[in-house]
Amino acid sequence: MAWVIDRQSLAIGLISGATLTLILKLWLDRDNDKQQKELGYVDGVDGLIGNTPLMRIKSLSEATGCTILGKAEFLNPGGSAKDRVALNIIRSAEQAGILKPHTGSTVFEGTVGSTGISIAMIARARGHKAWIVMPDDQAQEKYQLLEKLGATVEKVRPVSIIDKKQFVNLAKTRAEDFGQGETRGYFANQFENDANYQMHYETTAPEIYQQIGSKMDALVLGAGTGGTLSGLALYLKPRIHKLKVFLADPMGSGLFNKVKYNVMYAPQEREGTRKRHQVDTVVEGIGINRLTNNFNMGRHLVDDAFRVTDEEAVKMARYLVREDGLFLGSSSAVNCVAAVRAARQMGPGHVIVTLLNDSGQRHLTKFWSDDYLEAAGIPYKLKDSEGLDDFM
């Protein structure tokens, strides 16, 4: 007996089948989510990201008479706040149909380390590969971590953003030249990708608001891509009208002058003064000499800026180990210096919130290396008798 199926019947059958499959998937996902909540577990590495605690930094709070709180982003599974951004960038590309798991597709990014580590971790967890382009003068443990996570690591000489071989530009080129068919090369583009600031708007900021609410008087943090600052400011300022937002900026970065005087310029850019590259500092992860899309999204909400020297950051990190047992990376130390400045400016009794982006574990061969700092001429020794007033 011959079966004859007209086109209309076939179309109805296909649509019905697809609809039933989608309904079943949604039902199973809902059931899985319910089971996770009931049993108290999360689903894979993705589920470990976010919901980090807000801690009172005792020594800084007692020294200033303010409550200085640090959001412990170093407790994310990849060790930094960049886990949030990497997850949203990759997930957004999957939802757009650009990345498909287990096809050999590769996520490319130009980074000084932390974002690359997060991308490498999350890409692996979601069935993709990672190719990370980095300046060749970063802390050695960052390269090692990336390689252990299975990423391809390409080191390049630090050059200006206008150079085609600058690490971000080169990552974009590598992505464009990579793959065919289902095997795609995807440029994460953390500096310009809206998924960056949106993730902080959707997760980090609501967490802070739930943790401290309207008691918060000031938000203090540095900016590299600017995504964290913009995402937090855009969410928190409309809800806390008294909130002041302060930028913490390292040496060599032009953002300080952009916020203060609307001029993108750093003193280290004077002719004959630049030593290494665009942002000449021992601090990694924050500071930049161009305006990114992510920074611009929230720039109008930044009230003031503090310039932080390498010596202040280095000694703050050592002070926090001595007084609190808190072992932080360079950008976190910059944030803490600026948080103290904000506390002194505002006076006792205020609540200051900052981010503790990563720990000192990925800064051992540079920011935490006495030999490196000695060679760079950066004072790093902190006497037992020295307090905050002695170095800042």
Q: What is the per-residue pLDDT across 369-384, written as a single tens digit (0 to 9) for each? A: 999 999 999 999 999 9
Say which residue, 169 or 273, is predicted with more confidence.
Answer: 169
Residue 276's pLDDT is 41
Mean pLDDT of 78-97: 97
Catalytic residue among 82, 172, 244, 315: 82
- Residue environment code for 102-114, b if the CB has 16+ CB neighbours within 10 A, otherwise e: eeebbbbbbbbbb
Mean pLDDT of 26-32: 55
Res. 18 pLDDT band, cuts 50 70 90:
low
Res. 353 pLDDT band, cuts 50 70 90:
very high
Res. 179 pLDDT band, cuts 50 70 90:
confident
Distance CA(284)–CA(269), nearest Å, equals 18
Amino acid at 129: K
Q: Is the whole model's pTM more than 0.85, yes or no? A: yes
Q: What is the per-residue pLDDT across 33-44, written as a single tens digit (0 to 9) for each? A: 555 557 789 999
Residue 320's pLDDT is 98
Q: What is the dihedral of CA 55, 223, 317, 136, to 10 degrees?
A: 130
Residue 271 has pLDDT above 50, yes or no: no
Task: Please state which of the ranges 16-20, 159-163, 223-227 shows the lowest mean pLDDT.
Answer: 16-20
Structure tokens at 332: 């976190």
225 Cβ contact partners less than 8 Å away, ≥ 6 residues apart? 85, 190, 191, 196, 288, 292, 294, 295
Residue 56's pLDDT is 98
37 an active-site residue?
no
Res. 30 pLDDT band, cuts 50 70 90:
low
Q: How far apart are the first and last CA of the chain?
A: 91
- When the pLDDT of each residue in the chain is averaged and rounded to a whole number, the result is 90
Residue 233's pLDDT is 98
Amino acid at 76: N
Residue 161's pLDDT is 87
Residue 224: phi, psi to the nearest 5?
-110, -75
Residue 274 has pLDDT above 60, yes or no: no
Q: What is the per-residue pLDDT across 207-242, written as a single tens digit (0 to 9) for each? A: 999 999 999 999 999 999 999 999 999 999 999 999
Residue 94 has pLDDT above 90, yes or no: yes
